[in-house]
Amino acid sequence: MDLERALATLSPTARLCIVLSYQEGMVHQEIAAATGLPAGTVKSHIRRSTLHLRQILSAYSQLQPEKPT
């Protein structure tokens, strides 16, 4: 699974928080101001979504054959 498909498994709100945080480099307060969500909700979306993506992509990387070094 590639990153685009992994991101598609998130809710639209969680995906927006992740993209604004990691791709745009925004901090939680900036994301809260831009989305109208409480800062605690933004933080929760980012934390849970990061763990979810890590789990999905980790499972994917285990399926890939190792490349010779």
Q: Judge whether 51 lies within some domain.
A: yes
| Domain that residue 58 falls in | 3-63
pLDDT at 1 over 70: no
Cα–Cα distance, 26 to 34 (Å, whole number) = 10
Q: Judge whether 36 lies within some domain.
A: yes
Q: Judge whether 15 lies within some domain.
A: yes
What's the CATH code of the domain at 14? Answer: 1.10.10.10
Cα–Cα distance, 28 to 34 (Å, whole number) = 10
Split at pLDDT 50, 70, 90, the class of 65 is low
pLDDT at 67 over 80: no
Q: Judge whether 25 lies within some domain.
A: yes
The arithmetic mean of pLDDT across residues 59-65, rounded, is 67
Structural domains in the chain (count): 1
Q: Judge whether 24 lies within some domain.
A: yes
pLDDT at 4 over 60: yes
Q: Judge whether 10 lies within some domain.
A: yes
pLDDT in tens, 11-60: 999 999 999 999 999 999 999 999 999 999 999 999 999 999 999 898 77
